Structure 1
Amino acid sequence: MEEFKLQNVNLEISENLSRHRTEGLGSSKALVVRRGAPFRVSLRLNGRPFDPKTDQLKIKIMLGRLYAIAPVTYNPDMSPSKWSAYMDLASLNPQQPSVHICAPTSAPVGRYRLVVAGFTKDGQRVSTLCKFTLLCNPWCKEDSVYIPFEDQREEYILNDSGLLFMGTAMNIVSRPWSFDQFESGVLEACLNILDVSPQHKQNRRIDHMNRNDPVYLSRVVSAMINSQDDQGVLKGNWTGDFKEGMNPAMWTGSGDILRQWVKSEYSAVKYGQCWVFAAVMCTVMRVLGVPCRVVTNFNSAHDTNNNLVIEEYYTKTGLKINGSKDSIWNFHVWVECWMSRPDLGSAMDGWQVLDPTPQERSGGVFCCGPAPVKAVRDRRIDLIYDVPFVCAEVNADVHTIILDQGKVLGVNKDTERVGALICTKVVGFPRIQTITGDYKHVKSPMSTISSRSSGSGSGSGSGSRHSDDSTLRRASTTSKGVLVFLTLDKAPVCGQPILFTVKVINKQNKPKRLKIHLNAQAKEYNHSPSDTFWESHGLIDMGPGEVKVVQQQILPVQYEDVVGDDLINLAVVLEDVASQEQALATEEFNIASPELTIKIADKNSVVVHREQSATVTFTNPFSHPVSGVLIIAGAGLIKERVTFRMPPLRAGGTVQQSIAFTPRMVGSKMLHANLMLPDVRCTVRGFKMVAVKSS
């Protein structure tokens, strides 16, 4: 009688990738599936056909030293709690039988080996080996990362491009980013992050077992994105000196960073800052199957002494000075991952804050989270992980102190500045979504800083809203003497004067003579300001109860060679000549850069695998010639980013650059361009959404 032999296993890759929504992940010959959903393999036999009455099949699944054995049954009801396999007798092809295999919803993520073993009534054993990758499954209700809406799964798992929000709450900069999860080598790099981690090196078996839990996975990834404690992906640099690596502003996507990390045999890629750390982590979590989005917190506090108070110091002439280890970043970027929290109870399920930017140690290493957003909102500082730190980032109070030779002249207390606006990208559209109310109890979910005011001495007030309305609101009416308000007349735009108004109110029924000091300093988003680049000083005479409005401007020639991508700290200090009482108002703001315009030659006929063309246009708004480097990228559109050098362009001049691209994937894709202008230390950006149709 002819022998029963297993020649090989056909992994039915195309069918399984489509069914598991993993098309494009890894190489075209690799099987990538999600737990909690069956995948089908076909057995190619040599010799006699398979006989279900006399022959048996068993599946052995191996992850490192962990393994499970599942006998192949004829019952299609698969268990969500253990590995299972079945054959459908109704459609059985004895010469090429199919086996449906399903991973439990609690199976660890990773690279698996699969052995199919056959047994005959004579005891003969034949087997064959193949490999596959298993990911989390947000489409499966029993999976701990299940997210209930299809548009959210499309956005937070499958969308390979997005926007990162930077700048200030009153003048938001939308930065395009390619997450690149379907680009070559990215899946392998993400799995390597797990294999290179200290947890894996210390005990592979325990690490493999723990990979079933997105809490564990996200915490490992949070630590591995930075290189502080391990062979992490990115080295942070906030010094301004990037000669040994890449200026963080020049990165356009995660793929280049992850591939460079692997190519260097896991040496840290230089350099990253918060938005780069967060964007790369978003890529990794989406690849692993955990829903993830990038979040920006405007006016993000770093509270080093855990007292939920940030102190800022000014001189009596309005110069901001560095007098505290605490700090406020104009913006800070982290990620949220969606998962259940059985360790904390179902009330804490949902979005979790994770921050891969190395700031403070958590459990001995530089990582942060997962901290439930609900716990942050309710100030549940008794919960793990790092809830108190995130609470301070969005909810600390700010004490602004005026000093003169070590003597405190005045204190302004602001309870609304920190966490003024917390936002992410809208599902399905390239625009901003405000989620401030998810993190804190706010009067208006669109709350942003539009003005700062204070009274003499310790009285204070502040206003906040998200609109062009410059109407001011005082938080306190207890101050004596004078009040001062500082308001930008409109959002500052590069190449135009910065227009602002100082409003002074004499609250007392007697005349006053006031010294007025105006001071402007350039600052990076996470540093104290540098030296003054513009200032003005004078005297104001006020009648009893009088209100005066002073219009001011800073001209482009006064700021454009100083500021670039940096921000401006603007302060006004009033000093009562008679009483020496002080009043301070401040504003930190960015200047909107010009934008690149991208035009698709025939946007209505962009078809997969057919070459298309686009044109990028830039007009120089500066008062002198500029030159730079143009970088064009787009996940699913351009394999590798393309670089052009732009020769000097006169003030007011326009230049165009054509680019050819061939879409590789159907769907909504982002073509984006960055123009680095070293002459003015500025990056100009633009993006265009491209609808790619099937051929």
Structure 2
Amino acid sequence: MLSEGWAKVYITVEGDSGDIECCCEKKDSHMEDLSLQYVNLEESENLERHRTQGFRSSKALVVRRGAPFRVSLQLEGRTFDPKTDFLRIKVMLGSLYVIIPVTSSKKVSSSSWNAYIDPEGLNLQRPSIFICSPASASVGYYRFQLCVFTQDSRTACAIGKFILLCNPWCREDAVYVPFEDQREEYVQNDSGLLFMGTPMNLVSRPWSFDQYEPGVLEACLNLLQVSPRHQKNTRLDYLNRNNPVYISRVVSAMINSEDDLGVLKGNWSDDFKQGVHPSMWTGSGDILKQWAQSGYSPVKYGQCWVFAAVMCTVMRVLGIPCRVVTNFNSAHDTNANLVIEEYYTETGQKLNVSKDSIWNFHVWVECYMTRRDLGPGMDGWQVLDPTPQERSGGEFCCGPAPVKAIKDRRIDMPYDIPFVYAEVNADVLSIIVSKGRVISYSKDTEKVGSLILTKAIGFPIHQNITGDYKHIKSPTSSLTPRRSTMSRDSTLSRGSSNGVSVSLTLDRAHVAGEPVCFAVKVINRQNVAKKMKVHFNAQAKEYNHGPSDAFWETHGVIKLAPMEAKVVHQQILPAEYAHVLGDNLINLAVVVEDMDSQERVLASEEFNIASPHLTVQVADSIVPNKVQTASVSFTNPFSHPVSGVLTVAGAGLIQGKVNFRVLSLCPGGRMEQHITFVPSMVGTKMLQASLSLTNISSTIRGFKMVSVHGA
């Protein structure tokens, strides 16, 4: 309540980060001898100090916890006297608040809110105040009120706002990362690669995380606000937002829309008419902004890599180091027995009869944090999976599960370690059935979790992190994917019995437009001649589903002398697999049958046929705010004409997306499209292009990393 004889005066001044509202009390009869005109949030300096320059478009100042930010006061009248005048700041997060006295001591505590005035500016009309949050402050949208109290008990106040994020640069923060290159990659990098396909034939899909695009920061903060936990108990939610474990579970649940007003609706059917096919998304920005602008209606549609990539964006925005991880041959063990059963017919067709499944690849994220709730040894990377598969604590979320706990099978710890452990360690039991009866089976202990990858720091290549998750028998290169999927000594690619063994080998990674060539080696291990039936078949499948009916098959008979080995060569022609291209994989199987004993041996492999690439070229010298030119080219490798739509995008390079229509391109024909763009940000950016073909269910992609140098 205002005291008698005083009136409240508001002054609005345009500062570096928008309007700062000021008010003061004054006597009706005369002006106060010391007045506060406005507060400047010194946006440019603070954004640089807190490494939040990318969020310049935000309507509020964006800073990181555990580090001071500077505000300057514009005073009028007499000089500020620290002996009789004092300053006080009230910081508010929702209904929570803390009142901070402004001192003259620079000694601050990392565990509490502090503020101090720059002693060098006391005799000036524009003194500076440094406000420092604790390293464990809650993430969110703050308001603050700064008041000047004079010797006559008169006050002048200013009202401002700021957004507070986690701080991987602060040693006391639970998300602290000690290396600058890791902070640049896992917090600041706004583009990356998502790995798909198979271990022998990796597909590197470019993705724009878009965390600095206008509206994305606000959408990420709104995600916390509309979560069920915030709606149920606002005060408790604000208090818990100091903990990255809590934040990560909220975000994991909110990325999918199964329990709440989450961002993405999953769809693993063949019908995407009500939305966008998951493979058509190229970045997180469009998804998050569409979700926020629609009043938090779920965006249609997502699959695992989309869920993971969007979560990576949200976590990086909130200041929690995050990276996208791909687990190849990822098990979904529904009965928790660590065994995945796969069933085949006597001629090698894979059947869809098991509730368990193996996804050729599954994509999740890892976030870096200290696990103070688990004790020493569990700090570091934590698995979080926003794809809705199983409930955790009543919600469709997963994690954070320490990677170290998964490797050591610490299934006694939270959260969801048994589920993730099975995803990378389950055994595979391959069973041949005939007329409802099991006639043969074999076990593979190496297929599941055969390769686990993430993007390498600073380079557009992959990093092998399989050894972080499991104890592997032999070391594998961190830069080269294991080719063991096609040649390992296992009973999936190598079946054996007492009398016969069979192995299946693909000669190379295959690209659309080339024949698929493979060899089957059959060895007679007995001293008697054998006559063998050989059944080959290929079935198309999606990465997370069982295969459809066979689209290619052939059968034959071979004769083997005692202890003889024979190699049978086969190929599938482009015309025979053209209709199953796109994001499909192929399940290839061979069953060898002893015509005398009816004994059968199975060998199988699942592989992908990679799409050709677009070539993106950019000039070497790129500077911001200057028109630049790039070119995108493509040569048609197919045996028929193709046409489609070319889309080019790049966060920090191009506003929105640019589309071009590609008319009929004959076999062997080449197209080249030139694009102009104006970079808006300094740093390494990704220019990505995609060509969606209209007469083939396929998308051709390409990207180029662009270094934008300061002028």
- TM > 0.5: yes
Q: Give, in whole Å, the separation in 2 of the partners of 1:531 and 1:209.
A: 54
Q: CA deviation at 1:498?
A: 0.3
Q: Give, in whole Å, the separation in 1 of the partners of 2:694 and 2:529.
A: 51
| CA 1:286–1:477: 2 relative to 1, 3 Å | closer
Conserved in 2, the CA contact under 8 Å of 1:296 and 1:333? yes
Q: Any idea what the Cα deviations from partners look like across 1:129-164, whole Å, max 9, x if unmatched?
A: 100000000000000000110000000000011100
Q: Report percent identity of matched pairs.
A: 67
CA RMSD in angstroms comes to 1.7
Please say if 1:388 is aligned against 2:418.
yes
Q: Any idea what the Cα deviations from partners look like across 1:619-678, whole Å, max 9, x if unmatched?
A: 111111111121111111011011222222112211111111110111111101111124
Q: CA deviation at 1:446?
A: 3.1
For residue 66 of structure 1, the aligned residue among 96, 100, 108 is 96
Please say if 1:597 is aligned against 2:615.
yes
Give the equivalent residue in structure 2 for 1:689: 705
Q: Give, in whole Å, the separation in 1 of the partners of 2:132 and 2:385.
A: 33
Unaligned runs of 5+ in 2: 1-30
Q: Give, in whole Å, the separation in 1 of the partners of 2:685 and 2:495.
A: 52
Please say if 1:633 is aligned against 2:652.
no
Give the equivalent residue in structure 1 for 2:445: 415
Conserved in 1, the CA contact under 8 Å of 2:690 and 2:700? yes
Q: Give, in whole Å, the separation in 1 of the partners of 2:485 and 2:430.
A: 25
For residue 576 of structure 2, the aligned residue among 558, 567, 576 is 558
Question: Counterparts of 1:458-537 in structure 2 under 5 Å?
Answer: 466-467=482-483, 473=489, 479-537=497-555
Q: Any idea what the Cα deviations from partners look like across 1:501-539, whole Å, max 9, x if unmatched?
A: 000011111111111100100100001101111001111
Give the equivalent residue in structure 2 for 1:461: none
Q: Any idea what the Cα deviations from partners look like across 1:75-96, whole Å, max 9, x if unmatched?
A: 1011100000001213434311
Give the equivalent residue in structure 2 for 1:48: 78
| CA 1:138–1:469: 2 relative to 1, 3 Å | closer
Give the equivalent residue in structure 2 for 1:146: 176
Conserved in 2, the CA contact under 8 Å of 1:516 and 1:573? yes
Q: CA deviation at 1:312?
A: 0.5
Q: CA deviation at 1:478?
A: 8.3
Q: Any idea what the Cα deviations from partners look like across 1:66-120, whole Å, max 9, x if unmatched?
A: 1111100111011100000001213434311110010000100000001101112
Please say if 1:19 is aligned against 2:37.
no
For residue 288 of structure 2, the aligned residue among 224, 235, 258 is 258
Q: Give, in whole Å, the separation in 1 of the partners of 2:553 and 2:417.
A: 41
Q: TM-score, normalised by structure 1?
A: 0.95
| CA 1:441–1:623: 2 relative to 1, 3 Å | same
Q: CA deviation at 1:360?
A: 0.6
Conserved in 1, the CA contact under 8 Å of 2:495 and 2:502? no
Q: Give, in whole Å, the separation in 2 of the partners of 1:434 and 1:132.
A: 39
Give the equivalent residue in structure 2 for 1:582: 600
Q: Give, in whole Å, the separation in 2 of the partners of 1:94 and 1:57.
A: 15
Conserved in 2, the CA contact under 8 Å of 1:26 and 1:184? no
Please say if 1:284 is aligned against 2:314.
yes
Please say if 1:643 is aligned against 2:663.
no
Q: CA deviation at 1:346?
A: 2.0
Aligned AA for 1:35?
Answer: R
Question: Counterparts of 1:130-209 in structure 2 under 5 Å?
Answer: 130-209=160-239
Q: CA deviation at 1:445?
A: 4.2
Q: CA deviation at 1:477?
A: 10
Give the equivalent residue in structure 2 for 1:675: 691
Conserved in 2, the CA contact under 8 Å of 1:631 and 1:642? yes
Q: Give, in whole Å, the separation in 1 of the partners of 2:487 and 2:708.
A: 45
Q: Give, in whole Å, the separation in 2 of the partners of 1:399 and 1:535.
A: 24
Question: Counterparts of 1:94-493 in structure 2 under 5 Å?
Answer: 94-446=124-476, 466-467=482-483, 473=489, 479-493=497-511
Q: TM-score, normalised by structure 2?
A: 0.93
Aligned AA for 2:164?
Answer: L
Give the equivalent residue in structure 2 for 1:607: 623
Aligned AA for 1:256?
Answer: D
| CA 1:179–1:465: 2 relative to 1, 3 Å | closer
Q: CA deviation at 1:570?
A: 0.2
Conserved in 2, the CA contact under 8 Å of 1:26 and 1:185? no
**Which runs of structure 1 show a deviation greater than 6 angstroms over 4 or more consecutive aligned residues?**
475-478
Q: Any idea what the Cα deviations from partners look like across 1:530-557, whole Å, max 9, x if unmatched?
A: 1111001111111111101011100001
Unaligned runs of 5+ in 1: 449-463
Task: Report which stretch shifted further, 295-304 or 672-681.
Answer: 672-681
Q: CA deviation at 1:486?
A: 0.4
Q: Any idea what the Cα deviations from partners look like across 1:325-350, whole Å, max 9, x if unmatched?
A: 11000000000000000111121000
Please say if 1:657 is aligned against 2:673.
yes
Q: Give, in whole Å, the separation in 1 of the partners of 2:681 and 2:87.
A: 38
Q: Give, in whole Å, the separation in 1 of the partners of 2:490 and 2:342.
A: 20
